[in-house]
Amino acid sequence: MKKIRIHALIITAAILLSAFISSCSPAEIPVQTNINITESVSLIKIKNDLIENILGQAEIYKYFLADLKETSEISENLKAAIENAENLLYAGEISEDVIKNAVKKLEEAAEKFRIYYFEPENEKKPSDADLIEKLYIGEVKCAYDESSRTFYYTMGQQIENREFKFDFYIKSKLKSSVFAEIYDSDGNKTGYKFVPKLNKAYTLKSYSKSVRYDYKIIFTMLPIIQIDNINRIGDEYKDCTISVTDPDFSYGPYSGAVSHMFVESAAKIHIRGGISRGFPKKAYAIKFIDQNGNNKNIPLFDLRNDSDWILDAMYIDKARARNRISTDVWNDYNSRLYYMREDMKPQTNGTRGLFVEVFLKNEYMGLYCFTEKIDRKQLQLLKNDNSDGTVQSLIYKGKSWDEPLLFRKYWDYNNNSAWWGAFVQKFPNPSKGGKIEWKPLADFVNFGVNASDKDFAEKIGEYIDINNFVDYTIYLCITYAYDNTGKNCYWSVYDMTDAEMAKIFLTPWDMDASWGRSWNGDKIPSSKEWMDSEYEHDSFLFRRLVLTNAGGFADKVRLRWSALRDDVLSAESLIKRFDDVFDLFDKSGAWERESKKWSECGLNLASERKYVREWILERWKYIDDFIRNKLDTVGDFQSARSKRRRFCRFINS
């Protein structure tokens, strides 16, 4: 279908230009040869800006006339007025009378054209079918929610007094030409340029020669992701088209970028997650591809340059922010890993991401977190591309609960299986022919379970990055992430062929069960232990590290907490992170839309803000006292062996 350029019908800028000229004395108009050069350049710029503003509005008529099936004296007069206005840009010195005359002709011709083709409105029958298939603003495709007949356009988070240009074109569902105007809530036309009010429903009136159709358009703040050209999304990758709009990040001139703020690409998508697969709001894995179906890297949102991403639905989280904030906190304080060198990129031992609003096949799907993946690239591990097939770097993930993962028992491993003791090998990827190697992790579990206290305390530094485990212990304490004591985290090795580079380090993942909420959304008391001692989650590893002061572990925990408690992990800092996100959700209108879309979740921003604030204050006091004064009371890790076994095995990726 044809693309038809559309703009606002009211020529407010033409009026502004007339007012500007009328208010100027002849000496102020840049037509004299003896004027100061700096002043002349400034005035010429003002003149040209105003002329370009007129031409921007004139383009609506230019493109509309080109698509018009019939001509008339009125349309021909408008064409002539447009050409006359365009010539202003190429003229030399322009007198006041010339500019006034061009403004007057264009204004009169446009008004006659409007009256002839689009007024009165009551002579046009309301249409039962959409007139607009796709609506574009400055080459950016607007998101559309069909059920509410509402278009969405994001202005970005740097919103203060950001001007909007009604620089539209559309794909029409009809063969005839379509015209459009925007009206505010009081019924006033907005004009070509205006500063929109966030989350206020403007009316977008569209017209053909015989019918009209009214839409709404809402201006938002968060980036927008649209998923189109797909029927049913399943567990396997399926082809689709994904577009991303983000006014706060410039994509630059690379393949796939339609404009500096809009990217559209062929892609693949599938449902991801474990328990979350059963929720009505699905989480997705997406992959951008080129025309040949190969992975295509895109540097979205100032994150990494990559093809593979995650759309986290956050359905069970009543704050819609726990996972993102938790990982951001971790990223801000986790220690430098043992293998990081000066010539490497800045360390990212965790994901980065940001909040977006997602539309799927013209349906608003709500708030999501657009997130990087944890993989070899993110952790800057070795590629294992040795000619002899030698494996160096490895990534494992805790996927469920069992004895080896909790360091209660050691099991023999089998390098023919991608699973061992509730762990799964993620890199090298066995499903893509990657070689399976359990030795580094199995040796550590065997050591952690069977070594004497003396050997454990003296030799722990040969097996793990102690500073990393210290940071992770504090992380589990302050967040009370009871579901992450082995499961829901990555266990990685940089180079198993080099004893100094073969130490295991941890990377957090899936932090929905944190900051006072369980994996099912239930509340958890703020003073409920340093870590969960329930049998299902009770890791002997962290207990033993503290009780034996292995490698000075307990001392390091106290010292590290002392450095962090008044900085990144202060109660005030943690509360501010949540407040900033809640404010963003509120101001952008995304929380209200999310609450309406997923009403069964019972979301309440004020209530959750209050709960999180109070929980953090209480938890911080509890952990501060515990680490500084009671760390040696974590209990005998051996005593838990006699507890009644209560496993609830499930996978939650």
Q: Which residues of 359-395 are buried (b: 16+ CB within 10 A; e: fewer)?
A: bbeebbbbbbbbbbebebbbbbbbebeeeeeebbbbb
pLDDT of 255: 44
β-pair partners for 167: 7
pLDDT of 68: 67
pLDDT tier at 34, thresholds 50, 70, 90: very low
**pTM for the whole structure:** 0.86
Q: Which of 423, 381, 388 is nearest to 402 (CA)?
A: 423
pLDDT tier at 59, thresholds 50, 70, 90: low
CB-side exposure of 122: number of CA atoms within 13 Å?
A: 0
The CA distance from 189 to 16, in Å, is 16
pLDDT of 248: 84
pLDDT of 4: 38
Rounded mean pLDDT, 452-468: 98
| 248-291 pLDDT, tens digit each | 876 655 445 555 789 999 999 999 988 888 899 999 999 999 99
- Residue 330: how many other CB atoms lie within 10 Å: 22
> What mean pLDDT is reported for the chain?
85
| 72-131 pLDDT, tens digit each | 888 888 888 888 777 776 666 777 677 777 778 877 887 787 777 766 554 555 555 678
**Strand pairing class (308-312; 164-165):** unpaired
Token pair belonging to 83: 């050409």
Q: Which of 99, 115, 132, 105 is nearest to 29 (CA)?
A: 99
pLDDT of 326: 98
The CA distance from 470 to 553, in Å, is 7
Domain ranges of the chain: 3-121, 224-313+341-371, 391-642
CA torsion angle 618 620 625 626 (round to 10) = 100
